[in-house]
Amino acid sequence: MITALLTGFGIGLLVALQVGPIFLLCARTSARFGFRSGAAIGMGAATIDLGYAVLGALGASLLLTAEPLRLALGLVGAAVLVWLGLRTLHDAFRVRLGGESDVEVVAPWAAYRTSLLATASNPLTILTWAAVFSGAAVSDVAGDPARAAAFVVGTALGSLVLHLALAGIMSAVGARLGGTALRVIDVVSGTGLVLFGGILATRTLQSTSSP
């Protein structure tokens, strides 16, 4: 069971390490608003990763074989990412340094809700977790219920640890940056989120139009 937990932890760490929309969101939030808000982004990501890993293990990915459902979920997810990206870009081009409200600065619960929405915005990742879980089951890392549970929990812990580390680093860096540098972070993050939204929409349309 320990092997399954550690294997899941490693996979969760590696998946979270990929520079994707949540990585950018966590980095930007931490630099702007500090560790607590950045850590809340990480907790939201880990929560959804855990849920999707469980769904993947239970075989919920079979639901996504229904083309209308896959198309709808993919396009909704793309829209959410584009919306988050445009909102971040809007923030970058208005005077914010020192002008944030208390709610914006000290709002880990709001950051957690945003992270849940952003991470859940790509339900097609259930397919990824299903593939990971299938490989783990075949290799006997998660071959029985106890090891399967340990593996799934490990993936969430790996995701959480990576995002907490990222939040710590970026909050320390952000505290030393001026307004211009923080706006650059906003522009990079916002542009990245919009691009990831576009990629998700394109892949969704391509996958549903394939014979």
The answer to whether residues 19 and 162 touch, using CB atoms and an 8 Å cutoff, is no
Name residue 202's amino acid: T
For the entire predicted model, the pTM comes to 0.80
Q: What was the pLDDT predicted at 81?
A: 83
Q: What is the pLDDT of residues 104-147, one digit of tens each?
A: 444 788 889 888 888 887 776 777 777 776 666 656 666 677 88
Three-state SS at 199: helix
Token code pair at residue 12 = 């969760």
Kindly state the average pLDDT of the residues 154-170.
Answer: 95
Buried b / exposed e over 44-81, threshold 16 CB at 10 Å, is bbbbbbbbbbbbbbeebbeebeeeeebeebbbbbbebb
**Domain locations in the chain as residue ranges:** 2-209
